[in-house]
Every structure is written in C-alpha cells, then in structure tokens.
C-alpha cells in the first residue's frame, strides 16, 4: 500500500461480535508503533465524548433500526470531524475497532436497511474517506457465540441477536471483502490467538510494504 502524501494510514478491524477484534487490536497498534509511527487507537461507535454517550444508548436502549443507523452515523460524524481526519492530516495512523463497514453489515444485512440508503449517509458523513486497509477477522457465528459464552460477559443489545443474524452479518462482510480485495484482508480467526495475531501482523506488514 503506497501513500504518497504525509497523510497517516487509516486501518480498521471488522468482524462479528466475538471474532477477536479487541484481542487483535493491540497487535496492529503495537506493530505500527514498533515501526516508529504515531498511532491514534480508537473505536466505533464512540471515540469522542458525545460518541461514547451515543454508544451507551446504542448498546442498551431499545430503538427502531433506522434510529440505530442514524445514531451510528451521528457518532461517526463526531469521530471523523474531531478525531479521525485531524489525526490523518497530522500524519498519524488511525486504528479503529469497527467503522462504516460494520453499519453495512449489521444495520444493512443484519437488520434490513437498504445498502444504498446507508451508503448515502456514509457519503454525507465522510465523503472521500475510506479505510486504507480493513482487516476482517472471519469466523463462523457459532464459534464466536461459544467464545462469548466462555467469556461469561453480560451480552449487550447487539450480542443478544440470534445466530442467524450473525450469519448474515458475516456473509455481508465477506461480500464487501470480495468487492474490494485491495482494501480488505481476510484473516481466518478460528485459529488460536497467537496464530491469528501472527497472521494479522504479517498481513499488515505485507500490505503496508514495510
Ligand atoms: N483466536 C482465539 N481463540 C480463542 N479465543 C479467542 C480468540 N480470539 C478471541 N478469543 C476470545 O473470544 C472472546 C471475544 O473476543 P474479543 O472480545 O476480542 O472479540 P470482539 O471481536 O472484540 O467482540 P465484540 O465485537 O463483542 O467487541 C474473548 O473472550 C477472547 O478472549
Ligand atoms: Mg471488541
């Protein structure tokens, strides 16, 4: 991946709940920092004071699917304006746990909002901004569900969705990756933490050509 300007790299992690995004996040951040790069580590929904308040609501309050999508983009707007764009312009890399692809997968394929409607919102909220690299931690919904059960954490509003929902979300992620193979890198997340970490780091270095 060549980046001719001084702009930083925008790297996102995606995958269904329990796929291992949070577990692999530090591998990405530490690898970049190890290369001497400055990194802003952040997440969605969230990443700003207002965004984190919206996250609380999104993860706990019952609401219509369209309100959910609109609040996701409201949080994203704050994040893009106040965190992501300024960091990239300063030349920092931004590593983000989920971004707009998650909305296409969850609120789109998962909950049925037409993709073109979500893409119009994306175009409104972040015209011209897309990740340089998206790492998809891919695994079957039943394996993710088993991991979450083992973790014993209280499930949030999204994590309480049935397994078929996560099947649709997973298929949408894989479809997005097929559509834009230059941006996406699909990692088999069903292997051990160490094996997945190794592959994440290797793919990251290959794509960044470092
Ligand atoms: N490769 C792996 N092998 C076994 N267990 C794993 C692996 N990766 C993650 N886990 C475990 O699975 C659980 C979910 O992982 P993690 O929280 O990283 O997923 P996530 O994608 O961030 O989920 P969420 O979308 O809910 O934030 C954790 O208990 C984690 O320790
Ligand atoms: Mg997580």
What tens digit of pLDDT does each residue of 159-210 get? 899 999 999 999 999 999 999 999 999 999 999 999 999 999 999 999 988 7
Residues with CB under 6 Å of ligand 1 are 15, 17-23, 147-148, 151, 159, 189, 192-193, 196
Which residues lie below 8 Å from residue 102, measured CB to CB, with a gap of 6+? Answer: 14, 44
Instruction: Supply the range of the domain harboring residue 194.
Output: 10-208
Return the percentage of the chain with pLDDT > 90, whole number.
89
Is 124 a member of any domain?
A: yes
Is 3 a member of any domain?
A: no
Is the pLDDT at 2 greater than 70? The verdict is no
pLDDT of amino acid 153: 79
Is 1 a member of any domain?
A: no
pLDDT of amino acid 148: 87
CA distance 3 to 1: 7
pLDDT of amino acid 67: 98
Is the pLDDT at 154 greater than 90? The verdict is no
Is 65 a member of any domain?
A: yes
Closest Cα to atom 8 of ligand 1: 20
CA distance 192 to 181: 25
pLDDT of amino acid 4: 57
- Summarised one tens digit per residue, pLDDT across range 8-22 is 999 999 999 999 999
Is 5 a member of any domain?
A: no
Residue the block writes with tokens 């296409």: 104
Domain count, the chain: 1
- Among 68, 66, 94, smallest CA distance to 80 is for 94
- Summarised one tens digit per residue, pLDDT across range 32-84 is 999 999 999 999 999 999 999 999 999 999 999 999 999 999 999 999 999 99
Is 38 a member of any domain?
A: yes
Residue 18 Cα, ligand 1 centroid: separation in angstroms? Answer: 4
Write out the H or E segment, with its range, that includes residue 10. strand 10-14
Closest Cα to atom 7 of ligand 1: 193
CA distance 205 to 208: 5
Is 44 a member of any domain?
A: yes
Is 48 a member of any domain?
A: yes
Q: How far is CA 148 from CA 16, 43, 139, 141, 143, in A?
A: 11, 19, 13, 11, 9
Closest Cα to atom 10 of ligand 1: 20
Residue 114's CATH number: 3.40.50.300
């Amino acid at each position: 991946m060549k980046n001719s300007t001084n702009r930083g790299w925008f790297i996102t992690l995606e995958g269904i709940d329990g796929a291992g995004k949070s577990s692999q996040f530090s591998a990405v951040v530490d690898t970049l920092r190890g290369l001497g790069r400055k990194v802003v580590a952040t997440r969605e929904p969230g990443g700003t004071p207002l965004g984190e308040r919206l996250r609380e609501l999104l993860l706990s309050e019952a609401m219509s699917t369209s309100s959910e999508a609109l609040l996701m983009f409201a949080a994203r707007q704050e994040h893009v304006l106040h965190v992501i764009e300024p960091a990239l312009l300063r030349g920092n890399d931004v590593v983000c746990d989920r971004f707009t692809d998650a909305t296409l997968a969850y609120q789109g394929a998962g909950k049925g909002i037409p993709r073109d409607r979500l893409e119009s919102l994306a175009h409104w909220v972040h015209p011209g901004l897309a990740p340089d690299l998206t790492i998809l931690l891919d695994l079957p919904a039943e394996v993710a569900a088993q991991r979450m059960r083992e973790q014993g954490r209280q499930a949030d509003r999204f994590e309480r969705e049935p397994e078929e929902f996560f099947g649709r979300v997973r298929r949408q992620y894989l479809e997005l990756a097929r559509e834009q193979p230059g941006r996406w890198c699909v990692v088999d997340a069903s292997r051990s933490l160490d094996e997945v970490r190794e592959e994440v780091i290797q793919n990251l270095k290959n794509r960044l050509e470092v």
